[in-house]
Amino acid sequence: MGHRRKAREYALQGLYMHEVGKKPIEEIITLEWVDKTIPDDIRDFAITLIRGSISHLDEIDAIIKNHSKNWKIERLTVVDKSILRISIYAMNYMPEIPLVVTINEAIELGKIYGGENSGQFINGILDAIKNADHPREEAQQ
């Protein structure tokens, strides 16, 4: 498994703790809840995703609401919502990561940690965001 995928898994866990356990960001980004030593590159990427996703939560949730037709954000599972939040943050604020990479990683996380249709649902939302909000990047890929 790649370093970035592991970091995304930690970020998913961190956002889940923030949503369900109402843990403060300062506590989450210590990553002390991980039972093993984390290489610096994984730690740094996970912290960037956690901090960025939480600090832009209102903006990201508005994007999710705008692109999730027939689904209220309150109805989304915490896992799917967390994966979407991490991915939308990366799509909007980490231009060095190709959009297709972010989307593919999100789909994989959805398949592993989400429900039966999470991968498809996440793909649909992120693809709609890519097409609507990032048309230039799509044309380059």
CATH of the domain at 99: 1.10.940.10
Q: What is this structure's pTM?
A: 0.91
Residue 57 lies in a domain: yes
Residue 54 lies in a domain: yes
Predicted local confidence at residue 20, as pLDDT: 94
Domain residues for the domain of 121 are: 3-135
pLDDT tens column, 34-76:
878 899 999 999 999 999 999 999 999 999 999 887 767 778 8
**Could you tell me the pLDDT band of residue 33, with boundaries at 50, 70 and 90?**
confident
Highest mean pLDDT among 49-53, 121-125, 137-141: 49-53
Residue 140 lies in a domain: no
Residue 60 lies in a domain: yes
What is the total count of domains within the chain?
Answer: 1
Residue 13 lies in a domain: yes
Residue 141 lies in a domain: no
Residue 131 lies in a domain: yes
Angle 57-67/40-55 helices, nearest 10 degrees?
70
Q: Which of 26-30, 80-84, 101-105 has the lowest mean pLDDT?
A: 26-30
